[in-house]
Structure 1
Amino acid sequence: MDAALIAVAGTLLGVVFTHWFQGRATERTAALARSEQLRQERIATYSAFAGAVVDYRHSQNDRWFRAAEEPGSEEAEESRYASYRQRTAARQALFRVQLVCDDPETRRLAERAFEETHCMHEAVGTADRARRSEQAKEALALFVAAATPGVR
């Protein structure tokens, strides 16, 4: 009788420990899967943001050159509207970065990259435009550098 009780108790104890270890393994696997999914989402989001800011910077440069060449021309107006569309795309990408990024400094750098690009069309003169364009490029590079460890 004692042997049977010990066998039953041992079996129950084994079942409890097995259940506990399997539960922990399942939780660990789920956490790794969530972490990898978030990493993939960040890669896609940060890449889309960088691409949108590059396109926005290009459209801002085009807008500035068209306005400098022929102020008020049809090409200048179309370029201005194209920059508005690019600004919208870049702002939407910025919102996605803000949603998936958990680092306040990286979010701040993304916002700075957007703002530096946004201010480019206000340049007065070719040298100022070149300086602002370079500042926008540097701001985006700082964002990419800050975002890189979060996607490794």
Structure 2
Amino acid sequence: MDAALIAVLGTLLGSVVTHYFQERAAVRSAELARAEQLRQERISTYSEFAGVLFGYRRSQNTRWILAREDPPAPAAEEARFASYESRVAARQALVRVQLVCDDTRLRQLADTAFELANCLHESSDEPERHRRSQDCKAALNAFVEAAAPTVR
């Protein structure tokens, strides 16, 4: 009788311990899956932001150049509207960065890069336009360099 009681208690204890470790493994597995999903989402979001912002920068440069021709090129108005479309895409990508990024410094770098691209068309002359364009490029590169270690 004692042997049977010990066997039942041993089996019961084994079941409880097994359940505990299986539950811990399931929770850990779910946490790892969530972390990987977030990492993939950040990779997608950060790379999309960089690509869209480079496009916005290019459209702003084109807009500025065509508007300064004498007389203004017929494509200047089209370039202006294209820059508006690029700005919308860049703003959407920026919002997405803000949603998935929990690093204040990265969000600030993204904001800075966007604002530099956004103000590029306000340059008063070619040297200022070129400087602003390079500043925007440098800010975006700083964002990418700071974001890269967070997704590795």
Tell me which interval the TM-score lies in, with the shorter structure as reference length.
over 0.9
State the one-letter code of the partner of 1:80. R
Q: Deviations over 1:94-147 (max 9, x none)?
A: 011011111111011101110011110010111000000000000001110111
Q: TM-score, with normalisation over the residues of structure 1?
A: 0.97
Asked whether the equivalents of residues 70 and 76 of structure 1 are also in contact (C-alpha less than 8 Å), the reply is: no
* Residue ranges of structure 1 left out of the alignment (5+ in a row): none
**Percent of aligned pairs sharing the same letter:** 62
Give the corresponding residue for 2:147: 147
Give the corresponding residue for 2:88: 88
Q: Matches of residues 1-150 of structure 1 in structure 2 within 5 Å?
A: 1-70=1-70, 73-150=73-150
Q: Following TM superposition, by how much is the alpha carbon of 1:73 offset from its aligned partner in structure 2, in angstroms?
A: 4.6
Q: TM-score, with normalisation over the residues of structure 2?
A: 0.97
3-state SS, counterpart of residue 102 of structure 2: coil
Count of aligned positions: 152
Q: Cα RMSD over matched residues?
A: 1.0
Q: Following TM superposition, by how much is the alpha carbon of 1:52 offset from its aligned partner in structure 2, in angstroms?
A: 0.5
State the one-letter code of the partner of 1:122. E
Q: Following TM superposition, by how much is the alpha carbon of 1:149 offset from its aligned partner in structure 2, in angstroms?
A: 1.2
- 4+ residue runs of structure 1 moved beyond 6 angstroms? none
Query: Aligned equivalents of 1:67 and 1:86: distance in 2?
Result: 17
Query: Aligned equivalents of 1:26 and 1:34: distance in 2?
Result: 12
Query: Aligned equivalents of 2:132 and 2:118: distance in 1?
Result: 10
